[in-house]
Amino acid sequence: MITVAIMALAALMLSGPASAQTKIRVGKTIGGSGFHLPSYVAVDKGLFKGEGLEAEFIVAGAGVLVRAGIAKEIEFVPIPGGGSEAMLKGAPLAF
C-alpha cells in the first residue's frame, strides 16, 4: 500500500503542469459571411484547441476589425476585401 502511494506521488511530481491554452481573438463581421466558415469549422471541430489555442470571436464592422488587426489587438482577421486593400497600402497584416 505504501509502495503504491509512493509511486502515485512520484508520478504526480514528474508530470508537468497542465499547459494553458493561448488565447487568440478571431474577427467576425456583424452578420457574418461565408468568409467566416473556416473559423466556425475550426472552433466546432476543436482545431484551435488541438493546437493549444482558445479562440474568441470578436464581432465588429470590417473596418474596425482591419484596424484592430493592424494594431495587433486581434490575431486573425478574415476580411479579404478590406484586409487586402490595407495590405496593398503597406499595412502589416497576414492572412
Question: Residue 82's pLDDT is what?
Answer: 64
Predicted pLDDT at 46 = 93
Cα 94 from Cα 92, distance rounded (Å): 7
pLDDT in tens, the chain (95 residues): 444 333 443 444 444 444 578 999 998 888 767 777 888 888 899 999 999 999 999 999 888 888 898 888 998 887 666 666 777 777 776 55
Domain boundaries, the chain: 19-88
d(CA 67, CA 35): 18
Contacts of 56 (CB under 8 A, 6+ apart): 23, 24, 25, 26
